[in-house]
Amino acid sequence: MDFSSFPIVCHWGGNFYEDAGQICHEGGRTSFVMVSHGACMPRVLAYVRAAGFFTLHRLVATVPLDRSLLTALLERWRQETHSFHLPVGEVTVTLGDVAVLTGLEVHGRAVTGTACRQWVDECERLLGICPVLRTDLQGSSLRMPWLREHFQVLPPDADEVIIQQHARAYILMMMGASIFADKSGNEVQVLHLPLLERFDVAAQFSWGSATLAYLYRQLCRGCQRGSTELGGFLLLLQIWSWEYIHIGRPIIVGYHGIDGQPLPDEPPRLLGPHHVRGEDPLGRRWLYAGLSRMSSATGLGVYRDALDRMSKDQITWMPFRPDMLAELPPAGREHTHIWRAHVPLICFDIVELHLPDRVMRQFGFEQVVPRPIDTYVELHKLDRRGKHTEDWALRHVRYVTMWERRAELAVVGTPTYVPSVSGDYMGWYYSITRLFVSPSFRLPTHHYQPSSLALHLTTRYS
């Protein structure tokens, strides 16, 4: 399929080189803020760990989001291929990236189930309290402020039942603030609550693949013309970009203490002074780092232009070295063949294809012209609205079955010592995509002068 005629995502509007069109969830806030409160106590965290969410807890932080960078990336997302189209080829967030950067398990059961529940009753049963106001629980959407209000403090005399209720509430808050963040950042789906009833069972689900399914869906919606917001795990997307793409990547120049505490007085660690071997995901190394940039030139116009003229030495196709992976929790270093599975990613109503054969250089293989694809675009139109009694496990049984065969569906290729492509790949790729996003017919009004116009004209008329 030729994607070169598809509309460029993110409506430009106004001055093309101003940042008015930048997007971010949580009502346009410029930081990713993970909840952190009195629930973070050893007794609660024991259940959080048992459910498989301790690594997500370790990502609790306030991290500035580079909205210009995220918007520039979104402009290059193609919902037909589930990848970012860059001048050097396609690149995307894979199952392996989620496992390494977040520590969430990707090798497990599909995150799905029925929507046919009385959610007020489920809250009462699993949280010990239910919302009274209808505005706090609409359908399966629960307001995050309600959770914070009622689970801010763990009673000192709490028994195991109450501790488990607080653990479920804390996991829900982490979900709503990160992996399943909606565009408002103010609600979380209690669809996931029954899956947290037993913590040992919760750990058997592939929360990492559900995270990626949700992020893909948000990118596919956000790239539509007229869209002004983006949900999903934006911290993951930003750190992923920093690991792979040199454009917009800050330099770690040091680390600072947590909550005003001094740095530990010990030899340097590979992933930073705060990294706990075998527990912390790789993404945590960015959270308490002092960051510096090579250039003071930032902003949407700068990133657009830089991506337009991106060269092959501005991407690291395999940023995670074996010595780094050895420092990670099991999900970040085991079952690595699953990272190459050509499978549907599932999160209740959401089904999105994982297409590793389009980004083989990210796995150390030669990139060849990929097979024709069908990302089931009709599934993008499917959501939960008006389907309050739907059993999504049954509705999507075809895709659940494919996911269960993930070990058989791992793609293979020709290993290479350096990232390389087949002789016909780049010609094919240039014929089916659009290389330039920056408008070539209008120059910016401020001091920054992009070079993509000259590059565009050279490519077009040479």
pLDDT for residue 446 is more than 80: no
- Quickly state the pLDDT bin for 257 (edges 50, 70, 90): confident
Predicted pLDDT at 41: 83
For 230, the 3-state DSSP assignment is coil
For residue 110, the 8-state DSSP code is -
- Quickly state the pLDDT bin for 385 (edges 50, 70, 90): low
What's the average model confidence in pLDDT over 179-191?
90
DSSP per-residue letters across 153-171: S--TT--HHHHHHHHHHHH
**Is the Cβ–Cβ distance between 148 and 37 less than 8 Å?**
yes
Predicted pLDDT at 40: 61
Tell me the C-alpha distance between 66 and 437, whole Å. Answer: 19
* Dihedral over alpha carbons 360, 243, 207, 179 (to 10 degrees): -130
Place of tokens 């059961």: 109
What's the average model confidence in pLDDT over 251-266?
82
Predicted pLDDT at 387: 64
Q: pLDDT tens for residues 277-294? A: 999 999 999 998 888 887
- Quickly state the pLDDT bin for 229 (edges 50, 70, 90): confident
Distance of CA 110 to the CA centre of its chain: 17
**Distance between first and last Cα of the chain:** 25
Q: pLDDT tens for residues 14-49? A: 222 233 234 334 333 334 444 444 446 889 999 999
What's the average model confidence in pLDDT over 315-319?
98
The highest-confidence range among 34-48, 368-382, 389-403, by mean pLDDT, is 389-403
- Quickly state the pLDDT bin for 386 (edges 50, 70, 90): low
Predicted pLDDT at 18: 31
Extract long-range pairs of 147-155: CB within 8 Å, 24+ residues apart. Answer: 147/172, 147/173, 147/176, 147/188, 148/35, 148/37, 148/173, 151/37, 151/39, 151/127, 152/37, 152/38, 152/39, 153/37, 153/38, 154/38, 154/39, 154/41, 154/43, 154/44
Pick the range with the lowest mean pLDDT from 76-85, 110-119, 237-246, 407-416. Answer: 110-119
pLDDT for residue 355 is more than 80: yes
What's the average model confidence in pLDDT over 156-166?
95
What's the average model confidence in pLDDT over 359-364?
98
For 142, the 3-state DSSP assignment is strand
Question: 78: which 2 tokens?
Answer: 């193609």
Residue of 16, 9, 26, 27 lying closest to 74 (CA atoms): 9
pLDDT for residue 381 is more than 90: no
Predicted pLDDT at 24: 39
pLDDT for residue 1 is more than 80: no
Residue of 338, 336, 248 lying closest to 296 (CA atoms): 248
Predicted pLDDT at 3: 31
List phi, psi (to 5°) of 317.
-70, -30
What percent of the chain shows pLDDT beyond 90? 67
Q: pLDDT tens for residues 188-204? A: 999 999 999 999 999 99
Tell me the C-alpha distance between 269 and 73, whole Å. Answer: 31
* Cβ-based burial of 261 (10 A; exposed 0-12, middle 13-18, buried ≥19): exposed
For 193, the 3-state DSSP assignment is helix
**Is the Cβ–Cβ distance between 168 and 126 less than 8 Å?**
yes
* pTM for this prediction: 0.88
Q: pLDDT tens for residues 74-133? A: 999 999 999 999 999 999 999 999 999 999 999 999 999 988 789 999 999 999 999 989
Predicted pLDDT at 440: 52
- Quickly state the pLDDT bin for 384 (edges 50, 70, 90): low
What's the average model confidence in pLDDT over 201-225?
96
- Quickly state the pLDDT bin for 442 (edges 50, 70, 90): very low
Average pLDDT, the chain: 85
Domain limits of the chain?
25-261+271-432
What's the average model confidence in pLDDT over 177-191?
91
pLDDT for residue 12 is more than 90: no
Residue of 201, 110, 203 lying closest to 402 (CA atoms): 110
Q: Say which residue, 78 or 262, is predicted with more confidence.
A: 78
* Cβ-based burial of 160 (10 A; exposed 0-12, middle 13-18, buried ≥19): exposed
